[in-house]
Structure 1
């Protein structure tokens, strides 16, 4: 099809639409720049990833990889999936152990161990290691993977965790807590909370957990 001449009505409408779009984007940019000019502070964040949907741990590990890319020392404490051979664990231990400590403290989900006292002891060991790592101001981010499950089953005292995060976390250290059913008190304390919503999952269609997707 030959090009429309400059005076074509269709060309004029297209140019008008382009101009209006440019004006709209310029207004949005100006408003965004004004808003960003007021954001100058930095602080270590308490970040919660919760909800029934998939992606809570995955998002936490994505933040850990960002820290590694910025050469920021970081650490992971896994409270539940300690016995799993996960891709994240393989990658971090094999290639980034100099920047990221990895501590798998759990022994599996509570229905696998079927031993409450054993689960409580494992969670306690994980929390003691977590406190040690968080107290170290050289470590910029600590991921507490699936700690919300330990808190849900009362394997750890919620008040102790909240008090520690409120009073002992260094000012510039980020702490990420993942797992479904985050306690309301933890959500209230946190600076950033994301709830993963389940809309559809292959498990319900008979598809098992697969490498690269779930672990």
Structure 2
């Protein structure tokens, strides 16, 4: 039996390892790809000395379980917080981690694939592809305000999820990040729009010297990331 599960995955414990496998209704090519992307993400963060759980292997379909891709990673003990409104000291450490990993740079833009690449050659073209998913009224609003989006010559590693349950703590100190499966290359300011859209309590922990107008714009676009 799994010792934990989420909407999309069952989580099993085997010796000192964690095994993640999709629930049947989410056993899709997109979920399969997300496991390979997660391994790339963890590997690049570890190579830059960030505290991330090591993913040992991705088993192809049939290699460990028939018809399922399986992720195997280190098992780390600690405390996980599930409440968005947990202590400010916890939220601020997560916000700091998200900001620090944005120091990793690339020349690609958009969602990261299993090889660390993206299909877009500019940040603006990626965002316009997202805006196409918006309803007509919001699409018109976003396009009308698009001039605020900067032209970038390089991109930053952007986490698109600030779920507190994706971080393991020990005695109040952040020890490891887990489940980094949907990052993108883009404007580092996008992380503030993401945080504002997802957790208003964590947003109180971000720097005050940011472009609020741009952050509000990114917060509006954020909801269309995974349409």
Give your verdict on TM over 0.5.
no
Higher relative contact order (CA closer than 8 Å, sequence separation 6+): 1
User: Which structure has more strand as a fraction of its residues?
Assistant: 2
| Bigger-Rg structure (1/2) | 1
User: TM range, normalised to the smaller chain?
Assistant: under 0.3
TM-score by length of 1: 0.26
User: Which structure has more helix as a fraction of its residues?
Assistant: 1
